[in-house]
Structure 1
Amino acid sequence: MAAQSGKDMLVKLDRTGSGDYLTVAGLRTRSLAFNAAPVDVTDAESAGRWRELLEGGGVRRAAISGSGVFKDQASDEEVRALFFAGTIRTWQLLLPGFGTVSGPFQIVALEFSADHAGEVTFELALESAGAVGFAAL
């Protein structure tokens, strides 16, 4: 696979639950992390006293984060409203040349910062709130 442009990695919000996605504008950086907590089933009879894990056990989660500048009034207002309401919505992360990750997420952090001689920036963090799916491109 050839290298992909970072600007094509998009974070999108399903505003109404109808599949009408709105791209969160102004993001300069984006990331996606998957994590799974293992379930340790090691006991006194484990071979060589090596740890054993329960296959398929544990809690899985996905996290999306990004930072940038607010540039689009519609997505700015939507993000702020969702954070303050604690609302869970369907979000998508498009990974160019790879696929789309989508599912219910909640905004768990929304931070603003500014330099005296610069623009106001924001950081956004989302945590999965249910099953997350993947569709290959």
Structure 2
Amino acid sequence: MPAQAGKDLLIKIDMDGSGRFETVAGLRATRIAFNAETVDVTSLDSPGGWRELLAGAGVRSAALSGNGVFKDAATDARLRSLFFGGQIPQAQVIVPDFGTIQGPFQITTLEYAGTHDGEATYELALASAGQLTFAGA
């Protein structure tokens, strides 16, 4: 697989609950991380005293994050509304030449920053809040 442009990794939010996804505007950097907790089933009978893990057990989760500059009033307003309302919208992550991950995510962090001689910026973090699906590219 050839190298991919980082700008093509997109976070999209359902804008009105109807499945109308729009890219979160102004992001300069995005990241998705998948996590899986383990369940240790090691016992005195474990071969060689090595740790054993229970397959298919544990909690799986995903975390999204990004930072950028303000570019679009509609997605900015939607993010603020979701955060302050404690809502859990559907979100999509587009990973170039890999596929689309979709599911419910809650905004866990929404930060705003700026300096006197620069642009206003924001940081965003979301945590999965249910089962995710994957559709290959």
Aligned to 1:62: 62
The percent identity for this pair of structures is 58
Query: How far is the alpha carbon of 1:94 from its aligned partner?
Result: 0.4
Q: Matched residues in 1 for 2:90 and 2:132: separation? A: 10
Moved over 3 A (4+): none
Matched, 1:16 2:40: no
Q: Any idea what the Cα deviations from partners look like across 1:101-124, whole Å, max 9, x if unmatched? A: 110000000111111100111000
Q: Matched residues in 2 for 1:110 and 1:16: separation? A: 19
State TM-score, norm by structure 2.
0.97
Q: Any idea what the Cα deviations from partners look like across 1:62-87, whole Å, max 9, x if unmatched? A: 00000001110000000001001110
- CA RMSD of superposed structures (Å): 0.8
Q: How does 1:20-31 map to 2 (within 5 A)?
A: 20-31=20-31
Aligned to 2:96: 96
Aligned to 2:110: 110
State TM-score, norm by structure 1.
0.97
Q: Matched residues in 2 for 1:38 and 1:56: separation? A: 9
Query: How far is the alpha carbon of 1:18 from its aligned partner?
Result: 2.2
Gaps of 5+ in 1: none
Matched, 1:84 2:84: yes
Q: For this pair of structures, how many residues does the alignment match?
A: 137
Q: Tell whether the 8 Å contact from 2:15 to 2:75 is kept in structure 1 after alignment.
A: no
Q: Quick one: which amino acid aligns to residue 91 of structure 2?
A: W
Gaps of 5+ in 2: none
Which piece of structure 1 moves more, 41-50 or 14-23? 14-23
